[in-house]
Structure 1
């Protein structure tokens, strides 16, 4: 059960990492586009910041903490 939970959690975290990286690259490209006068979706990115990207970053941080805690608890239980 523990292995299945960790596998599921790691799968979600992997997808979330790609979402966060994609949003960062989109933001960087949109900023460059804005500086040269080409609209590349910065306004759309701003509108998606609160409902999509902020929770994705929160899930990534919480998932990393939970994954680490589960591994530490499992190590302590198996060492005894």
Structure 2
């Protein structure tokens, strides 16, 4: 018997939140990997190996800048939404 109204099925909002959370986790790892790559590239550059730093510089605009922006934007949005929800709960029903 298939019950489409099963209480354990996630709503579309919960599924959307799950996808957004997954995207943000991937984004955090991209930013961390980029920071590590940059550190290694600088060390390589100091030893005369230019390839890693050149590749990092080519990927800076199309990959790392949007990833850092998404991370910062989501942190700000999370803070604002958390503040608004707390304010709304304290206000209570009137």
Q: Settle same-fold status: TM greater than 0.5.
A: yes
The equivalent residue for 1:21 is 32
What's the CA shift for 1:76?
A: 1.2
Provide TM-score, normalisation by structure 1. 0.81
Larger radius of gyration: 2
Specify which structure has the higher proportion of helix. Answer: 1
How far apart are the structure 2 equivalents of 1:49 and 1:64? 21
How far apart are the structure 2 equivalents of 1:17 and 1:56? 8
Q: Give the root-mean-square deviation of aligned CA atoms.
A: 2.1
- Runs of at least 5 residues in structure 2 that lack an aligned partner in the other structure: 1-10
How many residues in Structure 1 have an aligned counterpart in Structure 2? 79
TM-superposition CA deviations, 1:23-60 (whole Å, max 9, x none): 01101101101111235511111000001100111111
Higher relative contact order (CA 8 A, sep 6+): 1
For 1:41-52, what aligned pairs fall within 5 Å after superposition?
Answer: 41-52=52-63
How far apart are the structure 2 equivalents of 1:72 and 1:58? 21
Provide TM-score, normalisation by structure 2. 0.70
